[in-house]
Chain A
Amino acid sequence: MKQSSPQSDARRMDAGQPGAYYGHGLPYLPLGDYPGKIIAIEGTDGVGRSTQIQMLREWLEVRGYGVTETGWTRSALMQPTIDIAKASNTLNKLTFVLLYATDFADRLEKEVIPALKAGFIVLSDRYIYTAIARAAVRGVDRAWLRSLYGFAIAPHQVFYLKVDVDTLTQRVLESRGMDYWESGMDMKNADDIYDSFRTYQNKLLREYAAMAHEFQFHVIDARRRVDIIQEELRRKVEVFLASSP
């Protein structure tokens, strides 16, 4: 196969190693040994990811690190399309998965990889795992999902903010309330949004738990106070950054 391979001298990394593709990857974009890092914060809705990311960013920048953020459905290409899709409620589960994957691919090529090359720390508000969990609980083949996201780069660190359904329920009700998608109402588990939310979130938590080992999550107890969680994140990030060139 004669593909264009601009960087044949670039050091090849094993699949699944931090900074390397999980699977087949993008053959037309071989990865080198880039100075940047990907740190992903995962967890279900309402768990406090964005607050933690904000604080982590502040801390890293004070320490002199270049930081850039990326988040789900934020790509210029796909955001309008995904919004239309959510509003119209006509998409099937496979189409949704593929739209999200397109969004992810767009951000990976246009934001994440350039940032890695330039030596930034990329803070990712969710990575591929939420997408995989949501699709898997809707019955999409798990092996297929893993193959699909084989073009993703394995992050250097994944923090999974773990919370139980009771805590989550109260937090979500306290803040903005339950919405249609976060409650998995499309799955028709229950007519009542409260029951649907709990059933759906329980299923999601089981998916995350199953992935924790497979994708080497750092599991963080997110039932604790914001500053205590942040302290633990900083400690782990610090150890990692100190140990890497």
Chain B
Amino acid sequence: MLNTLTSPHEYPGKLFVVEGVDGSGKTTQIALLAKWLSAAGHRVFLTEWNSSALVKAATRAGKKKNALTPMTFSLLHATDFADRLLYKIVPPLKAGMIVLADRYAYTAFSRDVARGVDRQWVRDLYSFAVKPDLALYFRVPIEVSIERLMARRVKLKFYEAGLDMGWSTNPVESFRLFQGKVIEEYDRLVDEYGLQVLNAAATITEQQHLVRQLVARELESSDEAVVATV
């Protein structure tokens, strides 16, 4: 089987992704990164997990009726991803732009497996994805993420809290159990897919400083490669 997720892409653009559970602060970090890159004159395109119109309709219908099983949940998200990959991610990469993805295939690898989908199956499923140039994993203890979500008075969503699994009827307790498993799966991915781990319990500014360092290094290394081939 062809596996593009594990071999470097040859597009002139760059793909940077952020990963982590809800409340890890990854969305804040990617927004700050986008600001910095744009200010430096880069063309940036931002894409989110689960955002294509077609699949949104199906996911909404499924969620409303609590009708999604772990498998259909997994397949729907893969459908959405395939759609975005072709229409939203690959074109800017071909145009030499920087694509920032808020969640990527690794979200499926951790979330779907936490729901009981086969670990190897879901990896094979996403083997058509483009390998990111940098994947940042914001690791956070489950208690910290719950604290943050509670402080923002975020209403925990049905699937995000893993309420579909029926492990607990209490949303916070369900979130703790489910996202706890998600974190275990993320941790497996670090070595397997070379995720760059960041301590998401640190301050926003500290984290962003590190993020920018890592991204700058990635951009420089490719500039050097260009110079070297000239």
Q: Enumerate chain A interface residues (CB-CB to B < 8 A).
A: 1, 3-4, 23-28, 76-78, 80-81, 84-85, 88, 90-92, 94-95, 98-99, 101-102, 105-106, 109-110, 141, 143-144, 147-148, 150-151
Contact = CB atoms under 8 A, between A and B. Distances in A.
B61 A80 contact: yes
Contacts of A106: 69, 72
Given A84-B54, A102-B76, A105-B71, A95 B124 contact: no
A24 B87 CA distance: 30
A97 B148 CA distance: 39
B69 A109 contact: yes
A78 B58 contact: yes
Given A95-B54, A95-B79, 10 more contacts: A24-B121, A26-B70, A26-B116, A90-B54, A91-B54, A94-B82, A102-B75, A105-B75, A106-B69, A144-B128
B47 interface: no
A235 to B, nearest CB: 36
A35 B165 CA distance: 28
Contact of B58 (A27, A77, A109): A77
6 closest Cβ contacts across the A-B interface?
A28-B116, A24-B118, A98-B79, A102-B75, A24-B121, A143-B1
Contacts of A102: 58, 72, 75-76, 79
A81 B57 contact: yes
Nearest to A97: B82
Contact of A144 (B76, B119, B120, B127): B127
Contact of B125 (A77, A84, A148): A148
B140 interface: no
B15 interface: no
B119 A77 contact: no
Contacts of A98: 75, 78-79, 82
B62 interface: yes
Given A77-B67, A98-B75, A141 B1 contact: yes
Nearest to B55: A81
Contact of B121 (A76, A88, A91, A150): A150
Interface string B103-123: 000000000000111111100
A151 B121 contact: yes
Nearest to A25: B118
Given A94-B82, A109-B69, A81 B121 contact: no
Contacts of B117: 26-28
